[in-house]
Amino acid sequence: MRAEQLRTSSISTGAWFGKSYKVHTMEDHLKLCPPGSDEDASFRMITSYWEMAASFVTSGVLNEELFMQSGRELLFVWERIRDIVPAARQAYKNPNVHRHIETVANAFIAWDNKHAPGGYEAFSARVRGA
């Protein structure tokens, strides 16, 4: 039963993030994800998962090339959070907030530009709604 609840929770959290998390300022983030809310928990679940996965790449535990072949979801998350990261780092007085996601996302952008010129720009525009 617990595994089914976790699976269902993960699916609904991912769906919520993809559909609803389109913020560009910390103020917008706090309106959508007030501390202690289900939305805040969903945001933390998504970003902590991808921060952990990215740390495997940055530490060398997971081969970067292998990750780039199937890890585009990390880039999706980065595109959605990148605008608030500087303000989050300042607010939490922690320059390492989402640091692994940022590092791997930047590597992914470089990889994408090499393997599919113009692909990143199209992806970013679609994800960010530009």
**2 token code pair:** 């617990």
Contacts of 43 (CB under 8 A, 6+ apart): 17, 21, 29, 33
Residue type present at position 100: H
| Burial of 28 from C-beta contacts in 10 A (0-12 / 13-18 / 19+) | middle
pLDDT for position 10: 58
Residue type present at position 80: R
> Would you give per-residue pLDDT tens digits along the chain (130 residues)?
456 644 555 557 788 899 999 999 999 999 999 999 989 999 999 999 999 999 999 999 999 999 999 999 999 999 999 999 999 999 999 999 999 999 999 999 999 999 999 999 999 999 998 5
pLDDT for position 4: 60
Indicate the pTM of the whole model: 0.90
